[in-house]
Every structure is written in structure tokens, then in C-alpha cells.
């Protein structure tokens, strides 16, 4: 928990200064405990967190790592839902609650912030049509104006952006590493807006972000640089490899930001803006520092710029509140010759034989596989938990002819909270 009594005012001032410079801070985690404990409300009201991002791995940690969901799981088991449907129902409930918590931020910001993200099934990463259907289904199920549906930045995922935005959906394009795939995602977003306004609709109700994963790029590039440094017989080559460590991720984000400025500063977008269209903000993701040799706020301090979002793990947010510094940094290289120019960094990496496009592809594949693995593990975990709960219910005295006080009808297993899940709305999910 972050203590608002200890430096809370000065910490909030940092967040407010970032906001004045055009950057919003979102939180890269969500759990029932975070909401039930009141911690999320405190982070919003006291410290200025303005949105939430989630993914299957975040939900795996939240659901498998606690008993907070057991009551609802028990209710859903009464309806004989399979583990995959139970999982989606738990996710939808959490996202609805978080959306409701952030609704005041959404309204006070004029629809600019206050968003909560939920991801389409990772197994759909290479299926455009199914991704569109699932995204629209999630919008209908969650039914909140401040929902962002996450679509992976695969070629097939990017093909889903145009029809989704064209149907009025707000989209978070996730797992973006390649500046070129970012460009395609931004163009698809713009094309979707053009479809929407061509229907005579107001574009101000549509928002979008493009999630650029930063530290993962450094982790992958640094591993190759270390091999070059260790194997080089030329001391100058070894020094160059060492000097480039920790620079690729930020250079990549800077290159994306330049594309963003070019596309959304263009005259063609200006005509859409007159119809209420909003820019698709770059969202810096994977901003927790993975290398202990680097500053713990590296991917906050070095990525400050207008019209951006930085979604932070809770530990990184705490560190920034404690000792983070604020200055516009995302394009510092344009006016400070001492700052690394991203194209120079790319050129030096290429000279050392590092193929960034190859790395982008590997990271995208690994990211999708990781989310898919988390999803599968969580479904399996829910299946085991369901069997344990059913077994406990069979062994309970009330199952041996005694009628439970909580269940006078003698229906069998009843969750601890005593709610009758038969009164809840049912939800059908596609099989994967």
C-alpha cells in the first residue's frame, strides 16, 4: 500500500505535472483484492492513477494466487459452466467493477482517460474475423463507455482494427514492438475513424492507444550485445557493445513517437479531428525495469512526452513517486546533441549485426505464446479448483441427507455468500 500521509501531496504533484505535460499514468495490474481493499480507489483519488491495463498473465496471478474469487467460482459452478466460461465471467466482472471505479475520471477528462482494458482470447491472435467477433461480444457484455478492448499487434490483429473502430469500438493495440507494425496499426485506426464519421457519427466517443512494449526490447537486444561483448577479440567492438546496452528499447519508443507525430499531425487527420476524432496515443508498456543495473524509473523518466500514456507496475509507480524526475524526454535528441538519436542507435546495432526486425518478430511470438500459456494454465487451475469444490460439496454433511440452513431447498453445493447464481445472467463463450 502507498501511504498518502507520507509525502502524498508532493507525490500527487508529480503525477499532476506529468498530466500537464500531456502524459497520463495508468496501472498495469488488476485484482479483486486491489479493488476490495480500497487500494485502487486510493491510487486514483490520492495519487492520480487514470486507467488500468490487464492481460491474461495479470489475471492468472490474481485468480490463481488468492481465494478472493472462490465464492464467485462456486456460484458459477452451480450453473455447470466449463472452466473457460468461468474464467471469462471472472474477468468480465473485474473489468466492469474497475470501469465503474474509473468512470468519474472518464467523465472529468472528457473521455480521454479512465479506461480499463480487457484482451481478446490470445488464441485468436492470427484470426481476424474471430477477433472482431470476440471484441464486439466483450463490448456488449461489459457494456461500459470506458472499456478498451485489446487486440494483439499481429498482421491479422491489425486487420481487425479498421472494422472495430469503424463500428465505434475503442481499441488498445497490444504487443507492439516493430515501429512499422505500429504505423500499420495507427493507419488502421485512422481508417476506422473515417468509416465511422462517414456514417455521420460523432468520433469523440472513440478512443485508442497503441501499446509499445519497451523493456522487453532491451532484454532481447542486451542479451545479444552481451554475447558480442564476450566473444569480441577487438576491444573497441567489445566497448561499443557494452555502451549500447539499455538503449534499444527507448530508441524504439522514440521512433514510434516520431511516426505518431507524423501521422496525427498530418492535414488528413486534422479533418477528422474537426469531427471529434482523437489521436491514438502511444502507450508505453513493459515499463518495469528488468535489469537491476538500470535505474528503476528508467522507462518512466526517459519516455515523457505529450499525448502519451505510461502504464506502470505498482512497484515502478511507487518508485516514481519516491524519486522520479520530470522533464520532456521522448524527443530530447532533437534539441540536445548529447542525447542518443534513435536512428544512430539503430545504425550502431545494425553495424554489430543485430537484426531488430528479427527481434521484434521473436518478441511478438513469445508475447502471444506467454499470454496463451497463462490463459491455458488458468483454465486448468480453475478446472482443478472446480473438482476440489465439487468434491468438498459431496463430502459435506448437507450432501448426506441433511438440509443446509443456507440452502433450504436442498439443492446441493451453495457458495459461502449464499447467493443463488440461478438468478444471475448466463453468458455463452466461444470454444477455443
Query: Which phi and psi angles does 404 have, rounded to 5°?
Result: -70, 145
Tell me, rounded to whole angstroms, the distance of Cα 331 from its chain centroid: 24
* DSSP string for 105-156: HHHHTTSSS-EEEEEPPGGGTT-HHHHHHHHHHHHHHH--TTEEEEEE-SHH
Please, how many CA atoms are within 13 Å of residue 30, restricted to the half-sphere of its CB?
27
User: What three-state secondary structure class fits 209?
Assistant: strand
Catalytic site includes residue 150: yes
Let me know the angle formed at the C-alpha of 389 by 85 and 429, rounded to the nearest 5 degrees: 5
Which distant-in-sequence residues (6+ apart) come within 8 Å of 401 by Cβ? none
| Distance in angstroms (rounded) separating the CA atoms of residues 74 and 390 | 9
Which distant-in-sequence residues (6+ apart) come within 8 Å of 216 by Cβ? 177, 249, 286, 290, 363, 367
| Distance in angstroms (rounded) separating the CA atoms of residues 329 and 297 | 13
Grid-cell match 482494458, residue found: 117
| Distance in angstroms (rounded) separating the CA atoms of residues 238 and 236 | 5
Burial class (CB in 10 A: 0-12, 13-18, 19+), 75: buried
- The answer to whether residues 48 and 25 touch, using CB atoms and an 8 Å cutoff, is yes
| Distance in angstroms (rounded) separating the CA atoms of residues 384 and 387 | 5
Stated length of the chain:
432
Q: Which residues of 27-36 are buried (b: 16+ CB within 10 A; e: fewer)?
A: bbbbbbebbe
- The answer to whether residues 164 and 134 touch, using CB atoms and an 8 Å cutoff, is no
User: What three-state secondary structure class fits 391?
Assistant: helix
- The answer to whether residues 42 and 4 touch, using CB atoms and an 8 Å cutoff, is yes
Active-site choice (150, 240, 247, 385): 150
Grid-cell match 507520507, residue found: 6
Tell me, rounded to whole angstroms, the distance of Cα 59 from its chain centroid: 11
- The answer to whether residues 384 and 42 touch, using CB atoms and an 8 Å cutoff, is no
Catalytic residue numbers, as ranges: 150
Amino acid at each position: 500500500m502507498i501511504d498518502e500521509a507520507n509525502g502524498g501531496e508532493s507525490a500527487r504533484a508529480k503525477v499532476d505535472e506529468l498530466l500537464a505535460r500531456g502524459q497520463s499514468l495508468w496501472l498495469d495490474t488488476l485484482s479483486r483484492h486491489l479493488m476490495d481493499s480500497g487500494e485502487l480507489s486510493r491510487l486514483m483519488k490520492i495519487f492520480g492513477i487514470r486507467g488500468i491495463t490487464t492481460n491474461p498473465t495479470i489475471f492468472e496471478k490474481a485468480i490463481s494466487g488468492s481465494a478472493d474469487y472462490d465464492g464467485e467460482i462456486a456460484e458459477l459452478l452451480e450453473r455447470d459452466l466449463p472452466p473457460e466460461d468461468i474464467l471469462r465471467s471472472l474477468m468480465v466482472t473485474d473489468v466492469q467493477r474497475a470501469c465503474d471505479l474509473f468512470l468519474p475520471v472518464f467523465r472529468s477528462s472528457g473521455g480521454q482517460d479512465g479506461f480499463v482494458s480487457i484482451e481478446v482470447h490470445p488464441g485468436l491472435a492470427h484470426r481476424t474475423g474471430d477477433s472482431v467477433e470476440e471484441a464486439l461480444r466483450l463490448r456488449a457484455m461489459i457494456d461500459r463507455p470506458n472499456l478498451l478492448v485489446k487486440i494483439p499487434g499481429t498482421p491479422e490483429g491489425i486487420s481487425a482494427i479498421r472494422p472495430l473502430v469503424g463500428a465505434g469500438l475503442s481499441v488498445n493495440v497490444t504487443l507492439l514492438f516493430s515501429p512499422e507494425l505500429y504505423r500499420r496499426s495507427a493507419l488502421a485506426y485512422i481508417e476506422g475513424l473515417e468509416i465511422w464519421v462517414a456514417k455521420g457519427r460523432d468520433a469523440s466517443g472513440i478512443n485508442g492507444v497503441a501499446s509499445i512494449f519497451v523493456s522487453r526490447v532491451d532484454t532481447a537486444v542486451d542479451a545479444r550485445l552481451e554475447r558480442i561483448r564476450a566473444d569480441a577479440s577487438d576491444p573497441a567492438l567489445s566497448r561499443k557493445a557494452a555502451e549500447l546496452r539499455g538503449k534499444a528499447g527507448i530508441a524504439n519508443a522514440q521512433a514510434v513517437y516520431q511516426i505518431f507525430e507524423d501521422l496525427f499531425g498530418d492535414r488528413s487527420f486534422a479533418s477528422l479531428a474537426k469531427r471529434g476524432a482523437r489521436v491514438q496515443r502511444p502507450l508505453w508498456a513493459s515499463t518495469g525495469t528488468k535489469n537491476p543495473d538500470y535505474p528503476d524509473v528508467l522507462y518512466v523518466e526517459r519516455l515523457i512526452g505529450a499525448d502519451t500514456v505510461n502504464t506502470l507496475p505498482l512497484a515502478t509507480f511507487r518508485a516514481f513517486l519516491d524519486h522520479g524526475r520530470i522533464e520532456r524526454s521522448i524527443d530530447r535528441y532533437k534539441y540536445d546533441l548529447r542525447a542518443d538519436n534513435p536512428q544512430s542507435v539503430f545504425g550502431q546495432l545494425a553495424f554489430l549485426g543485430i537484426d531488430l526486425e528479427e527481434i521484434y518478430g521473436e518478441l511478438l511470438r513469445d508475447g502471444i505464446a506467454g499470454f496463451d500459456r497463462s490463459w491455458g494454465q488458468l483454465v486448468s487451475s480453475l478446472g482443478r479448483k472446480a473438482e476440489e469444490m465439487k468434491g468438498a460439496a459431496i463430502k459435506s454433511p448437507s450432501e448426506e441427507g441433511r438440509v443446509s440452513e443456507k440452502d433450504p431447498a436442498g439443492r446441493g453445493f451453495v457458495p459461502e455468500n449464499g447467493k443463488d447464481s440461478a438468478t444471475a445472467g448466463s453468458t455463452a463463450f466461444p470454444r477455443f
